[in-house]
């Protein structure tokens, strides 16, 4: 999968963040995980490793091609029975999906981060974890240069994470920055 990502220039979380995803799923003894922005399933493999026996992982991505690649990956890895992959807009899926989830991994289009947060929080159980990728955004979030809409959205999302009385958040400087938020 890492070779496929490198060949196609497709961003993945990499093994270090992958290991963090697995560890966090184990820490909260996750039985229900939601992954928003699944790509071709790389991070889902790590999340599935951390699931409790009998647990399930719901993945969403807007690309049917990614879904097909992920399905084959899940089949080969022997986890197809634990994972459901939907081709849909993540915000639309949130609107029609009930919680609570033990862990939610947010890696959708960055401009959607601030809009997604209240929907995510209403589906995350107390004591659950919200993990968010790309919060350092290759250093652009700290730049004084004029910012692109994606950068502005990540800044706003980060502000909302830290301002929320329902979250205890830390940003880990792994790869492109991973937010770890405990729902209190």
> 105 or 13: which carries more pLDDT confidence?
105
* Cα 2 to Cα 28: distance, rounded to the nearest angstrom: 27
CB 74 within 8 A of CB 67: no
DSSP state of 78: T
CB 181 within 8 A of CB 167: yes
Structural domain spans, the chain: 13-183
CB 70 within 8 A of CB 42: no
Residue pLDDT, tens place only, 35-70: 999 888 899 999 999 999 999 999 999 999 999 989
Q: Read off the pTM.
A: 0.93
CATH (one of 1.10.3720.10, 2.60.120.260, 3.40.50.150, 3.40.50.1820) for 13-183: 3.40.50.150
CA atoms within 13 A on the CB side of 56: 7
Residue pLDDT, tens place only, 106-124: 999 999 999 999 999 999 9
């Amino acid at each position: 999968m890492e070779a496929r990502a490198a060949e196609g220039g497709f961003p993945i979380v990499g093994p270090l963040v992958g290991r963090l995803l697995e560890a966090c799923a184990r820490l909260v003894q996750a039985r229900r995980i939601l992954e928003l922005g699944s790509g071709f399933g790389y991070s889902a493999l790590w999340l599935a490793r951390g699931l409790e026996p009998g647990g399930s992982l719901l993945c969403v991505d807007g690309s049917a091609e990614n879904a097909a690649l992920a399905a084959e990956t899940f089949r080969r890895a022997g986890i197809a029975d634990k994972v459901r992959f939907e081709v849909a807009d993540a915000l639309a899926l949130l609107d029609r999906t009930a919680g609570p989830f033990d862990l939610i991994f947010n890696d959708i289009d960055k401009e959607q981060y601030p809009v997604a947060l209240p929907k995510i929080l209403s589906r995350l159980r107390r004591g659950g974890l919200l993990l968010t990728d790309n919060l350092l955004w290759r250093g652009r979030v700290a730049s004084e240069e004029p910012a692109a809409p994606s950068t502005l959205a990540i800044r706003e999302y980060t502000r909302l994470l830290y301002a929320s009385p329902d979250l205890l958040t830390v940003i880990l400087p792994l790869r492109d920055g991973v937010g770890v938020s405990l729902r209190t």
